[in-house]
Structure 1
């Protein structure tokens, strides 16, 4: 029997990248004590006010069909939020509500590119980005993000990667996995490249509210001269500790949203109204949990840096935002995948191998910052012990 070519393009770009996480969960289910530092689950429950909003909406009968753009109250709340943040009007006709950032990005790329096109993205990158681009038939063009640049994308590197087939510059700020935050000057320089080559800018901003103390978030949508070519994707998954509610959105130019709308209607024809009511409340007010999470994650990143930097040749990259920190384990002579598998088996600590996030992170690990301080401290001890044992064996 025959299958669509998209299934071949995505065959190894889905759950295969999360095999270690799945293995760790299976070990834990079998009774092994595992410290899980793999995925970005918030370290607090969803705020009770949001739970009550969704529950009240269900009790009130908000369980019928919606529409492809989103519930009017939610769309209006998002338009108001971005108008206030960006200092210029953002209309309801620029908003599309979709289930989480992943679906939002799927819809964005389905709207902007197709076979024969190219998308430039920083490497390392979030594990699903390759699949998001591949599903359209377009080609991903990775541009190396360097530790010495703080893993911030450089405009000159992007300019060197542009070809006549390039259609999109894909940004992620704050960045997963590195936690890097683009500065306004970075965005201005990248925007110059985008204007010079008539490129779209797609910006994944799901960690916008999880910048660490002393760091300021910036978006290409902040800059009026980039607004007509910028599309952003975001959700309440991280900022409001609500990943299971799958509540996200897209903001872009009016014509872009008009073209995305039929795709949204074809895929979903609307999200659940009771979840839309919850999201309307969430985006209308500052998150009650984001500030606390950012402070705790910054503190745990510092703990990991103090505990692992220089141990058996390990190097730690300190993030500026988000839920993760990165550790360079190349001095051990192992790949990230080999180290992570050995660490899981020997020490019961689950981390993500850097190879899941692109060639630029080969020989690195990504550690989540979402375990409490005591378990993070114990994970640091076990990782250090494991690295020292590897180097001792090598000697």
Structure 2
């Protein structure tokens, strides 16, 4: 039988990148003692007030068809949120989606097609390649180097640009590295984008999880307003990934042109979830504050816990819910170390190879488990590192 070409383009870009995570879940289901540090699923529940609002809305009959752009209350809440960042933001700049991933998919469909290219930093979030390739476009990697804190540099972006490039997919705060771009770095990157007439699509889902740095965005720069689209959600900020409530914010012309694409995919998000999202955006809820404190503390515990582990070096994040560990000194790649760690020590982490070429020697470790599990995981990682070092010394 015949299939559309998208099935071939995405054949190796789905769950294959999460093979270790899937295997860890299988082992755990079979009763194995597994410490799971693979995915960014908050260990805090959503605030009770959000669940109450969602239930109230369902009981009030808010389960009928929705508005294609988004329910009026959540559109208004989003317009106000972004108006605090840039005074000219209005409801016309808002489109609601079921999660950031869906927003990214629709945005890319509206901006690129076969023959085009999208610039994206390497390391990159595991699904970005699929989102880009689904359109028929291809990605062009911009190296993010550990010696520069994994911050994208304007000069590296400039070198990577080809005539086919139409979009820069930016991610700040960054997954998997936790890097947070400064306003000055964004201005320099934005100037490159202006010279080459690039759209900037900025994934800001970790906006509320910045530790000590100042959050900055191309959306906040009036000089970049005509070319910037922001995607985000309440998944991370409010510990509500399963509710799938996200959005895209961009120029009015952009949202008006993208709306038919959105309406062709689905006609709005669930009204009761939209009501909950509007509540989340208009009330003081301390979930993000609690997570920021916990994730920063746990990142510090990993730095301390692995300080004496041979061949291992921790790169503490500036934001988010992950930290990277360089394991090149053990003699293994990140992929090989991650599998050995699961099989020999019962600790599941994501191999850096799931996030691009620049992360081949790294592990991505989630900070979304209790401190005691973080400490025990560090003990097990250190134990494996010591055995690997001993093996190398015996061979030498």
TM-score range, shorter chain: over 0.9
Q: Residue 327 of structure 1 contacts residue 366 of structure 1 at CA under 8 Å; is this kept in 2?
A: yes
Aligned to 1:258: 256
Aligned to 2:348: 350
Aligned to 2:376: 378
Out of 221, 224, 228, which is 1:223 matched to? 221
* C-alpha displacement of 1:292: 1.1
Aligned to 1:90: 89
Aligned to 1:394: 392
Matched, 1:278 2:272: no
Aligned to 2:234: 236
- Take 1:205 and 1:287, find their aligned partners in 2: how far apart are those partners? 19
- Take 2:131 and 2:185, find their aligned partners in 1: how far apart are those partners? 24
* C-alpha displacement of 1:163: 1.7
Out of 322, 334, 337, which is 1:336 matched to? 334
- Take 1:219 and 1:310, find their aligned partners in 2: how far apart are those partners? 37
Q: Residue 66 of structure 1 contacts residue 273 of structure 1 at CA under 8 Å; is this kept in 2?
A: yes
Q: List runs of 5+ in structure 1 lacking aligned partners.
A: none
Q: Residue 67 of structure 1 contacts residue 265 of structure 1 at CA under 8 Å; is this kept in 2?
A: no
Aligned to 2:317: 319
Give the TM-score of the pair, scaled to structure 1: 0.98
Return structure 1 stretches of 4+ with deviation > 2 angstroms.
Answer: none
Cα separation, partners in 2 of 1:286 and 1:130, compared to 1, 3 Å: farther
Q: Residue 125 of structure 1 contacts residue 176 of structure 1 at CA under 8 Å; is this kept in 2?
A: yes
Q: Residue 239 of structure 1 contacts residue 287 of structure 1 at CA under 8 Å; is this kept in 2?
A: no
| 1:165-221 residue CA offsets vs partner (Å, 9 max, x unmatched) | 110111100000000000000000000001101100000000000001x21110001
Aligned to 2:28: 28
Aligned to 1:44: 44
- Take 1:84 and 1:320, find their aligned partners in 2: how far apart are those partners? 24
Q: Residue 104 of structure 1 contacts residue 250 of structure 1 at CA under 8 Å; is this kept in 2?
A: yes
- Take 2:241 and 2:33, find their aligned partners in 1: how far apart are those partners? 25
| 1:12-68 residue CA offsets vs partner (Å, 9 max, x unmatched) | 101000010000001000000110000001120011100011100000001100021
- Take 1:286 and 1:294, find their aligned partners in 2: how far apart are those partners? 15
Give the TM-score of the pair, scaled to structure 2: 0.98
Q: How many residues align?
A: 393
- Take 1:85 and 1:201, find their aligned partners in 2: how far apart are those partners? 17
CA RMSD of aligned residues (A): 0.8
- Take 1:216 and 1:290, find their aligned partners in 2: how far apart are those partners? 15
Aligned to 2:187: 188
